[in-house]
Amino acid sequence: MTNVVLRSLPFAFDASVPFQWQPKNPNFGVFCNSFTFFAVPFERYIVAVVRELHKRIDNAEVAAEADVFLKQEAQHAAAHRKHMIALIEQYPGLDDVYRDATKRFDALHAAHPLEYHLAYIANIEATFTPLMTVFLDNRDSLFAGGDRRVASLMMWHFVEEIEHRSSALILSRYVTPSPWYRVKRAKGMFDHVNRVMMGIVRGFDQHVPLADRGGVTAVEALTSGLFAGELKRRLPFVRTFVGAEGMPSVFHAVPAASIAKMMWRLVLSQTPQHDPADQPLPDWAQLWMEEYERGTDMTAFFGAPPAPSAPTNR
């Protein structure tokens, strides 16, 4: 069974948390906000699916895996919900963004059997280890200087996703032993993820003033600043490290070799015999866990103190 620790961290957010919490890397700030608005309905979906699975489990180890996975994901959803609600209080239109994402997951849940949902979750969770390893390995260029409430929330979540990296695959394989089931359906599953994410960032552009986004167009931040687009910027005759709106791209300080390895591991994550347990892990994740065990306040572990709030006219 996966070695997972349940950690209940008292994250607190209020209207003083800025939408653009990371002025040193504003495209990444918007990306993380979209992650929050995706995480809440996605993890609600995970909880519903795993509860349904519980009715079919007759293996004690698998039942224990399902239980700890469900509880950890429920805690992630609760913490991100606090962040999301703080943003909705400032920009009420974002409630429609959340509701739209939730409806998309509800429709997905209604349209497919349990086997499909477990494969969907396993496919997405398989991508988290290579992606979040790059986030944590390059934490200074991504998180440093950002509001420590949001930075610490994201880093906690990323560490715990790496910690339970094989849980979803274990549950999917219990119900559907054939590794080809999830592989054959991966494209449709990631098309759904893309539709949800695009709905979220379009909503950001609609409901949050450009100045409050740090001058970032959320759709551009999501579609032009990641992965293959980042590698293209490293080519000769291309404006190096420039992202949406001429700002530094999300991964501007990340070595091209690290991005290429991440992309290759993302591809491998969707192959039949892939197991996240075999993936290289960031040393910093272990450091985070050690600090937690020492009693360090992990809700303010990384980033800058909140900036003094200033009245704005919206």
Residue 258 clears pLDDT 90, i.e. is over it: no
Query: Would the pLDDT of 229 be above 70?
Result: no
Q: Strand locations in 12-120, DSSP E?
A: none
Whether residue 244 has pLDDT greater than 60: no
Contact assessment for residue 284 and residue 155, using Cβ atoms and an 8 Å cutoff = no
| Structural domains of the chain, with CATH | 26-300 (1.20.910)
Query: Cβ–Cβ contacts within 10 Å for residue 49, how many?
Result: 21
Question: What pLDDT does 312 receive?
Answer: 44
Q: In 138-166, where does DSSP find H-type helix?
A: 139-142, 148-163
pLDDT at 231: 67
pLDDT at 225: 56
State residue 311's pLDDT score.
43
Note the maximum CA span of the chain.
60
The pTM (predicted TM-score) of the whole model is 0.91
pLDDT at position 296, please? 95
The amino acid occupying position 106 is D
Tokens 């909705």 — which residue? 88
Q: What is the pLDDT of residues 133-184, one digit of tens each?
A: 999 999 998 999 999 999 999 999 999 999 999 999 999 999 999 999 999 9
The residue with greater pLDDT, 73 or 1, is 73
Q: For residue 227, is pLDDT > 90?
A: no
Amino acid at 87: L
